[in-house]
Amino acid sequence: QVQLVESGGGLVQAGGSLRLSCVASGGTFSIYRMGWFRQAPGKEREFVAAITRSLGDTAYGDSVKGRFTVSRDSAKNTVYLQMNSLKPEDTAVYSCAVQSTYSSGYNYWGQGTQVTVSS
């Protein structure tokens, strides 16, 4: 079992920045990739970014490319999401998730942290 705790959400004005953190504990030896997803009210969950634990390979959703940066500190079992040039449409609950193996889906999820961007 992997437990995930997100932090760093809050209220920010459009054009501002926030940095989210996600700390993993428990069965951290079984982490292949950590990802960030978001869900706004009335909308489906959306992929934001992900990073592999070993090589640090990254992937981004089209709506955040060039504005968001995902990074990790493997020694601390922590993944970060640096969000710059925030827009009101970035408002959502941001959740961290773990993909245990290359062929598995994201099978562990955090509770999420609220990000609100005011115009």
Q: What is the pLDDT of residues 11-41, one digit of tens each?
A: 999 999 999 999 999 877 788 999 999 999 9
Confidence of residue 74 (pLDDT cuts 50, 70, 90): confident
Q: What is the pLDDT of residue 27?
A: 76
Q: Does the pLDDT value for residue 6 go beyond 80?
A: yes
HEC states along 86-103? CCHHHCEEEEEEEECCCC
CA dihedral 101, 104, 105, 111 (to 10 degrees): -50
Q: What is residue 105's three-state secondary structure?
A: coil
Q: What is the pLDDT of residue 83?
A: 98
CB-count burial class (<10 Å; 0-12, 13-18, 19+) for 41? exposed
pLDDT over 70 percentage in the chain: 100
More confident residue, 1 or 49: 49
Tell which residue, 6, 7, 10, has the closest CA to residue 92.
10
Confidence of residue 112 (pLDDT cuts 50, 70, 90): very high
